[in-house]
Amino acid sequence: MLFRFATFFIAGFAGLLIVAGLISREYAAWGIIFGVVVWLLWDVWRARIFDSALRAAQGGDALPSYTGWWGNMLDRVRRMLRSKNEEVAASERRMTEFLSAIQASPTGVVLLDAAQRIEWCNQTAAHQLGLDVQRDVLQHIGNLVRQPDFANYLSAGNYDHEVVLAAATSNAQRPIKISVQLHPYGEGRRLMLTRDVTALQLAEAQRRDFVANVSHEIRTPLTVLSGFIETLQNLPLDEAQRNRYLGLMAQQSQRMQALVSDLLTLSRLEGSPVPNATDKVTVKSLLDQCEQDARALMHMEPKLQNHALRLHFGYAQESDEASVILGAQTELLSAAGNLVNNAVRYTPAGGKVDVQWTLLQDGRGELRVMDTGPGIAPEHLPRLTERFYRVDRSRSRETGGTGLGLAITKHVAQRHGGELRIESVVGQGSTFILTIGANRIQPQ
């Protein structure tokens, strides 16, 4: 500011000296006015340059350098612009990070304006609803999602609850369900959230089926027991009839006991940590026990006596017999026993059950249980390991199964780093393949 006043007075004094020296001292006052006018014109010229620089500048660093009062002002403007640019850049970075986070979210997000047109959506919502993130901007959401349930939900205006729709990628082989809910915000705008609820609905359906199946499986023997008890209490029976009824009652009680035992086993497998890798089970002892139990089953079950069933246990190589599994003996025996006993029960007279243990090249162990039974239709194979799922309910009850054996076997395989695979051809037989993870196999 002092420099500005100094140049102002210097310009006036210079004009006075110039006019007084060149023209006359009588016009000295005009010289002062001349000097001031020249200074003002020079100042206005600098102000125009300053204004042009401000208009053309994109950031604080683009401003030219000046001295004096205008230079100080430019410095202040430069600092202000640089600070604002940094704030804008930081805001843009935060916005980019926020949008990236929403883009990566497993929850679909769609922003609708007051006219229910799409302003923005992430890839999850686009995939679930069949939208195009660029093409469908400013398109009415009702024209793109045409399912009647969503149309009714959108027109009703009550968004306190969600609506479940079929996803755009859903089909008969792989049905996918998504929940959609709108949340009003701002001036008439709406936030639409979508999420995949296929697993939740499947779990809920399995829970309902599980409760219904358990109730049904327990109610049937209870009804039989209740009827026989009432008969024994109210009717005079001879010794043979009484023994027959007591035998049937014992059979039904054993069926309930087996069901409860399998339910407890399945619950323990699902709720306990994986088996300790320090526990060791020899494959030979495992298969020997399975063979002993299978032959005892053939001897004790009336339907299997005189069955003429060929039962063979073996190893792919002689050295495989000495391999060791690191895991829980009771779980492994239950899993292998379920497969062998099922094969024995379902293989008709004159058939063959072949059990073989193999060490694979990748270090995993594989137990194959092959039978010559009736086989299983392809549509049943994906659901065989579900709880209580039966291909033929009447036949399963005749063989004494609880419907939980394969579910238990699948859980045991997973807890030992493996899996359960099923191959079958109708009329030719089935093969159940139980694999154990390489980290659980200790070859000898």
CA nearest neighbour of 356 among 320, 385, 330: 320
CB of 358 closer than 8 Å to CB of 320:
yes
pLDDT value, residue 391: 74
Please, which residues have CB within 8 angstroms of residue 166's CB and are 6 or more apart in sequence?
Answer: 147, 175, 176, 177, 178
What is d(CA 166, CA 183) in angstroms, rounded to the nearest whole number?
20
Which pLDDT does position 303 carry in this prediction? 61
For CA atoms 379, 381, 382, 384, give the dihedral sign.
positive
Identify the pLDDT of residue 41.
77
Q: At what angle do helices 405-415 and 239-271 cross, to 10 degrees?
A: 30
Per-residue confidence (pLDDT) for residue 109, from 0 to 100: 92
What pLDDT shows up at residue 70? 60
Q: What share of the chain is helix, strand, coil (3-state, %, to 5)?
A: 55, 15, 25
Domains of the chain by start residue, with CATH: 2-99 (no CATH), 105-196 (3.30.450.20), 202-272 (1.10.287.130), 274-442 (3.30.565.10)
The helix-helix angle for 239-271 and 198-234 (nearest 10°) equals 160
One-letter amino acid at 254 equals: Q
Residue in the structure block whose two tokens are 């006991």:
257
Report the pLDDT value the prediction gives residue 366, as an integer from 0 to 100: 94
Predicted local distance difference test score (pLDDT) of residue 246: 87
Q: Which pLDDT score, from 0 to 100, does residue 211 have?
A: 77
Contact 359, 441 (CB under 8 A): yes
Residue of 344, 336, 421, 340 whose CA lies nearest to 381: 421
Q: Report which of 296, 365, 298, 373 is spatially closest to residue 332, judged by C-alpha positions.
A: 365
- How many other CB atoms are there within 10 angstroms of residue 169's CB atom? 12
Calpha distance 68→74 (Å, rounded): 10
> For every one of its 444 residues, what pLDDT tens digit does the chain have, with 9 covering 90 and above?
555 666 665 666 566 566 555 666 665 666 667 667 776 777 677 777 667 766 666 544 555 565 556 666 767 777 787 788 888 888 888 887 877 788 888 889 999 999 999 999 999 999 999 998 889 999 999 999 989 999 999 888 888 889 999 888 888 778 899 999 999 988 889 999 999 998 888 888 777 877 777 777 788 788 888 888 888 888 888 888 888 888 888 888 888 888 888 888 888 887 788 888 778 899 999 999 999 988 888 877 656 555 667 889 998 888 888 889 999 999 999 999 999 988 988 888 888 999 999 999 898 999 999 999 889 988 888 888 888 777 765 554 555 567 788 999 999 999 999 999 999 999 899 999 999 999 998 866
So what's the pLDDT on residue 103?
Answer: 84
